[in-house]
Each structure stands twice: as C-alpha cells, then as structure tokens.
Amino acid sequence: MRYFLTLYILAIVAFIGIAGFRGEITRKPPIEVFPDMDRQMKLRPQEPNRFFGNQRSSQPYVEGTIARGMPYQDIPVNTGRISGSTNWVEVSPIEITESVMSRGRERYNISCAPCHGAAGDGKGITTKYGMVAVANFHDARLVEMADGEIFNTITHGKNLMGSYGANVKIEDRWAIIAYLRALQRSRLSKMDDVPEPQQAAL
C-alpha cells in the first residue's frame, strides 16, 4: 500500500504522456528522423525553369516520337484500314514519289531483306540459319493482298513473323510497301510495260 499512490500517479502520467495528446493538430513540422525522399527538387509543369535553353519546364516532344497512351487518329495512314471500319485500304494512302521509293528500298533492305530476301522471294539469309516458312512476296496471294493488310502485318506481325511497328516508323512502312510492290511488279511485267525504244534491246 505504501507504493500504491506513487505507482498510481506514475501510471496516470505515463498514460497521458503516451496517449493523451494524440490527434492534436499542429502547424509545426513533425520531427523527421528518416526523411525518406519525401521532399525533392522537381519541375512543376508549365512553370518557367532556367535549366533548359528555352526556359520552359515542359519540353515539346522529341521529333518523331509519340507520347505513350496518346489516343491516335483512326485514319488509314495510321491503321491501314478504312476509317471507322475493319476493311483494309486497297491502295497506299501516301503519295509515291521517287524519294519515297528509294527510302522504301533502303528500309526494306535493312528491315525485311534479312528474312524475305533482297528479291522478296522469301530466301533471306536467316533461312540458312533455321528461319522457316518465310513468306514469298511473289505468291499470288500476297500480290493480291491489300496494301493496308501488309501495313498491318508490318505493324503487328503475323503468325511466325514478329511485329516491326516499334522499329519502322509509319511513313517508312508505307515506303517499304511501295518498294515491295515494285519487287512484285518486277516479276509480273509484260513486254508492253517496257517503253518501246527499249523493247528491241530485250
């Protein structure tokens, strides 16, 4: 009984000390033993900032890139399909010029020829190392295939062929298709396609 009063008072003090003032609102910052990167230097969007040459914190997109998650327009150039439908566009939506054609040849030889062969006959170098069933562009089925479907195959791949959408940008895909058509044409042309003055030489 001698210690009861002392222990009783100690218990009350301890209780109030630990639980008594919890939930109090204060404007003072809490004591921070480990700040855990709570506060960091950062750029706020749309604020001026002297770090970049143009003094803006929000920088324009790097040319040729697309922001991830951006909705993209449902137009034939992007999808190879007639807008609002699932039907392929028969003919390339871009204008085929000489520079498009030579760009197409260059890109074809980089991205497609290793498998499909420089002549498009499906006998690229990879077939010598075990790549099987590479499509031959001179097959009637692929000659007749709509440009839009070929665009889709480049973008998303098909069966054994992987997708090249991430490696080959949109304009280049259409340029490749133009060149691929020229390859096909090279085996389909008739004597009448040769300009008359050159016919005699053949």
The answer to whether 135 touches 142, Cβ cutoff 8 Å, is yes
- Positive/negative CA dihedral, 107, 109, 115, 118: positive
- How far apart, in whole angstroms, are the C-alpha atoms of residue 30 and residue 33? 9
Among 176, 181, 183, 184, contact with ligand HEC (rule: CB under 6 A) = 176
Based on CB atoms, which residue is closest to ligand HEC, 76 or 177?
A: 177
Among 57, 78, 126, 163, contact with ligand HEC (rule: CB under 6 A) = 126
Residues forming beta bridges with residue 81, ordered by sequence position? 88
Among 89, 100, 135, 183, contact with ligand HEC (rule: CB under 6 A) = 135
Binding mask 84-123 for ligand HEC (x = CB under 6 A): ---------------------------xx-xxx-------
> Helical H runs in 42-194?
76-79, 98-111, 113-116, 140-144, 147-156, 170-186
Considering the rule CB under 6 A, would residue 160 count as an interface residue with ligand HEC?
Answer: yes
Site residues, ligand HEC (CB under 6 A): 111-112, 114-116, 126, 131, 133-135, 142, 150, 153-154, 158-161, 164, 168, 176, 180
